[in-house]
Chains A and B, each alone.
Chain A
């Protein structure tokens, strides 16, 4: 992991955070309970397959939530103005102790001194396949 001590000094292209998250089925149950999103495609293999999915998939909002946590870490108490993403591909979570590994890298996409903002882009992938597109947060400096 790497992080810059002062986001205000960050330059476009700087990688400011990099981490991986292992997601197991139990993590999906915990997110379902915490969020109230009990859609069975996130817990029930048979149901997921019946609607044409390869297996149980993670809540898109769980993946976005992991990115949000990375943004919070880097923002270190600064206000976040906005956070947006597109969902590009489902995160399939197999049963068992290996689950799936989600890789996450935050880079500085833009800085705007007059507006006092730094824009962070998140690259989020599973086995090299992008699962989010245009994941972007604007932090007030």
Chain B
């Protein structure tokens, strides 16, 4: 079963705002070996890929939409991109909204382009992420 192309243009938001903590920034920085992780400094900007932890929650709302028809067990991550507007810091109250930009099929696989805006509850943009996920075809 293929991804339903009718979901192009739909949007999905995280259920409630997420308040960024210094502890989660520290844990993420350590996990990706960020240069800020060992400095012990507080109120540092989040590592460059931290926004994905928020964005993926909005993307997950798309993945579980029964009308989208995404077979999660066949899903692989094809591409990821970040465009930075302002640094994420501890205390930021963040929301994220995913827009389904494109659904297409090629070589028996479905490719879905998801664009997610991560911003504060005050509407200040932080990061825009773009993910391409590939849902492998049954024959692949």
Residues of A at the B interface (CB closer than 8 Å) are 21, 27, 30-31, 33-37, 51, 60-62, 64-66, 68-69, 71-73, 79-87, 137
Contacting residue for A62 out of B32, B36, B130, CB 8 A:
B32
**Is the pair B32, A69 in contact by a Cβ cutoff of 8 Å?**
yes
Interface size on B, residues (CB 8 A): 28
Quick one: closest B residue to A75, CB to CB?
Answer: B48
Distance in Å: Cβ of B37 to nearest Cβ of chain A:
8
**Is the pair A34, B28 in contact by a Cβ cutoff of 8 Å?**
yes
**Is the pair A69, B52 in contact by a Cβ cutoff of 8 Å?**
no
**Is the pair B31, A62 in contact by a Cβ cutoff of 8 Å?**
yes
**Is the pair B34, A68 in contact by a Cβ cutoff of 8 Å?**
yes
Quick one: closest A residue to B73, CB to CB?
Answer: A51
A-B pairs, 7 with minimum CB distance: A65-B32, A84-B81, A68-B48, A34-B31, A34-B27, A31-B31, A34-B28
Distance in Å: Cβ of B44 to nearest Cβ of chain A:
10
**Is the pair A66, B81 in contact by a Cβ cutoff of 8 Å?**
no
**Is the pair A79, B48 in contact by a Cβ cutoff of 8 Å?**
no
* 10 extra interface residue pairs, beta carbon distance < 8 Å, beyond A60-B77, A72-B34, A72-B36: A21-B33, A31-B31, A35-B31, A35-B56, A36-B56, A37-B53, A61-B49, A64-B49, A68-B48, A69-B35
